[in-house]
Amino acid sequence: MFKRTKVRQLLETTHYNREVTVKGWVRTFRNNQFIAINDGSTISNIQAVIDFTNTDEALLKRITTGACVSVTGNLIESVGKGQQVEIKVTGLEIIGDSDAEKFPLQPKKHSLEFLREIAHLRFRTNTFNAVFKIRHALAFAVHQFFNDKGFVYLHTPIITSSDAEGAGEMFRVSTFDPDHVPRNEDGSVNYKEDFFGKATNLTVSGQLEGELAAMAFGEVYTFGPTFRAENSNTTRHLAEFWMIEPEMAFFDLDDNMDLAEELLKYVIKYAIENCFEELEFLKTRLSEEEKLKPQTERSELDLLAKLNFCLDNDFERLTYTEAIQILKNSKPNQKKQFKYPIDTWGADLQSEHERFLVEKYFKKPVILTNYPSEIKAFYMRQNEPDEQGRKTVRAMDILFPGIGEIVGGSQREERLDKLEQRMAEMEIPLQEMSWYLDTRRFGTAPHAGFGLGFERLVLFVTGMTNIRDVIPFPRTPKNAEF
């Protein structure tokens, strides 16, 4: 097979007048002459010019949008506008035909909603080329960041028997025939008969296993799929999403926040430095979309300015209690514009509150700390109750503009008695979690960690607005296509 050259390479070269072969998919075919070919290596197409007077009519008909072609010809400096180089075709082969009548992607702008329905083909659009290239770059940057710091990449199990977040939003894993589930005498399900001999589920977080490894390696991180059966049909929730969870021995809450802020800035900077073409494209796309919105709803910064702003500013750090005070006194609260008015300490913050703090009040990323223990997971380190007897834990959530919560983490409760007491209060079976408690029994140490939602990060960096558009095949309530 004749070796192909990638389009990216050809568009960067000035080495003209040589024979090249390009393989890719036809985007457009104009005037029976100009073929725009995209091979995925760049958003840009290469133009191939075919001499139609000397080409078989039947072959010309097969050059349709979506067809896969191999084109050989002379690479020349282009005379036309819009491109540096083009290929003067000497040989063209149709690798795979595409019926122009049936191919759903026409050379025009399609809505994101429509493209979501044909997610198997949307990779072939410029928008999704850019989004998934950036997704790749961010994943690579995450590994680079931790590797450079000497963290160990830990693969935690996808099938578990524990509920790490204690929220009960889990997908069951079972090989039972749903029509013939073995039962105990009292009617309850007999999981002893199931594949693993106990009730199992898809993991909601790799944190608990991460903690075990941190008590040996010191610093570890996970980066894998996690699953939540929460029935949240929003632009920020997926039933299957990827999470990055570092866990560090001898880190307190401040160290934890420093690391999270450093990680976020590092990966955003990496994208700016390595995804210039993609970000420029998405910036333009976003600003065109913004123009359709009323003036008051448009964002003040373009995509790149927004990313750079995030790099150039310290994230605002404040406690939950301080945030509640700000929210209580805020205009939207006083004017009863919040759907969930803030009147008492202890309320869980809704996305409208998070967005007010980030987008209206501080106008930059915010880290909220020391949340009420009632609204947080069992493993978080307990603070001494304040003068008013209010109980808080050493939690931290990072809130981003347009996104809301992007990171959730905490210092962990390393004291066995305190941890057991809290688990008992929350009715978490101590016996089943004995392996977890062993870390506190044998050489316990202060430690901390956090979880960064990877798709929420990709959302922020790409400026896309729906989380379904930053993961190749989204899983959401009532949807598991492809």
Tell which one of 209, 245, 414, 469 touches ligand 4AD (CB under 6 A).
245
Per-residue binding letters, 180-219, with ligand 4AD (x by CB under 6 A): -------------------------x-x------------
Give the interface size with ligand 4AD as a residue count (CB under 6 A).
21
What is the helix (H) or strand (E) element at residue 25, kind and residue range? strand 19-30
Please identify which residue in 365, 449, 463, 474 interacts with ligand 4AD, judged by CB under 6 A. Answer: 449
**Which residues are registered as beta bridge partners of 306?**
none
Q: Which is nearer to ligand 4AD, 165 or 261 (CB)?
A: 165
Q: Of these, 105, 406, 419, 423, which contacts ligand 4AD (CB under 6 A)?
A: 406
Q: Which does 224 bind (CB under 5 to 8 A by kind): ligand 4AD, Mg ion, none?
A: none
* Residue 349 DSSP class: P
Residue span 216-235 as binding mask against ligand 4AD, x where in contact by CB under 6 A, dash where not: ------------x-------
Stretch that binds ligand 4AD, among 16-24, 122-130, 322-330, 401-409 (CB under 6 A): 401-409
* Interacting span for ligand 4AD (CB under 6 A) from 18-26, 313-321, 429-437, 445-453: 445-453
- Residue 398: burial class (beta carbons within 10 Å; 0-12, 13-18, 19+): buried
Q: What angle do CA 456, 328, 357 make, to 5 degrees?
A: 25
What minimum distance in Å lies between the beta carbon of 89 and ligand 4AD?
A: 46
Angstrom distances, CA of residue 100 to CA of 45, 66, 120, 123 = 19, 8, 17, 18
* Among 241, 251, 371, 378, contact with ligand 4AD (rule: CB under 6 A): 241
Query: From the CB of 406, what's the least distance to Mg ion, in Å?
Result: 10
Cα–Cα nearest to 137, from 279, 332, 312: 279
Q: Which of 22, 115, 164, 470 binds ligand 4AD (CB under 6 A)?
A: 164
389, 434 Cβ separation under 8 angstroms: no
**What string marks each residue from 113 to 152 as x (binds ligand 4AD by CB under 6 A) or -?**
----------------------------------------
Contacts of 436 (CB under 8 A, 6+ apart): 162, 208, 211, 212
User: In 116-229, which ranges are E strands?
Assistant: 152-153, 159-160, 172-173, 200-202, 219-227
Cα 115 to Cα 96: distance, rounded to the nearest angstrom? 22
Structure tokens at 44: 């840009």
Least distance (Å) between residue 184 CB and Mg ion: 36
409 in contact with ligand 4AD (CB under 6 A): yes
Residue of this chain nearest to ligand 4AD (CB atom) = 453
Contact 1, 51 (CB under 8 A): no
Between 202 and 238, name the residue whose CB sits nearer to ligand 4AD.
238
CA distance 394 to 205: 19
Check binding of 401 to ligand 4AD (CB under 6 A). no
Residue 188: both structure tokens together: 């309850």
**Which whole-number Å values give the CA distances from 413 to 163, 376, 383, 432, 447, in the listed order?**
17, 12, 10, 18, 8
User: For residue 365, what are the CA distances in angstroms to 259, 261, 325, 459?
Assistant: 15, 10, 18, 15
Contact of residue 39 among ligand 4AD, Mg ion, none (CB under 5-8 Å per partner type): none
Is the Cβ of residue 167 or residue 424 nearer to Mg ion in the bound state? 167
Map the footprint of Mg ion across residues 389-428, applying CB under 5 A: 408
Tell the smallest beta-carbon distance from residue 247 to Mg ion (Å): 16
* Residue 122 binding target from ligand 4AD, Mg ion, none, CB below 5 to 8 Å by type: none
Count of all residues that appear for the chain in the document: 482
Q: For residue 269, how many other CB atoms are within 10 A of its CB?
A: 15
> Facing residues of 453 across strands?
243
Using CB under 5 A as the binding criterion, the count of chain residues that bind Mg ion stands at 1
* Cβ at position 349, least distance to ligand 4AD in Å: 12
Our CB check for ligand 4AD shows the closer of 265 and 283 to be 265
450 touches which of ligand 4AD, Mg ion, none (CB within 5 to 8 A by kind)?
ligand 4AD
With 0-12 / 13-18 / 19 or more C-beta atoms within 10 angstroms meaning exposed / middle / buried, residue 23 is buried
Largest interatomic CA distance in the chain:
89
449 binds, among ligand 4AD, Mg ion, none (CB under 5 to 8 A by kind): ligand 4AD
Residue 460's binding partner out of ligand 4AD, Mg ion, none, with CB under 5 to 8 Å set by partner kind: none
What is the nearest approach in angstroms of Mg ion to the Cβ of residue 240? 17
CB of 243 to ligand 4AD, least distance (A): 5
Three-state DSSP class for residue 379 = coil
Provide CB contacts within 8 A for 482, sequence distance 6+. 119, 120, 473
Q: How far is the CB of 71 from ligand 4AD (least distance, A)?
A: 42
- Under the binding rule (CB under 5 A), the answer on residue 474 touching Mg ion is no
Interface positions with ligand 4AD (CB under 6 A): 164-165, 205, 207, 228, 237-238, 241, 243, 245, 405-409, 449-451, 453, 455-456
Interface positions with Mg ion (CB under 5 A): 408
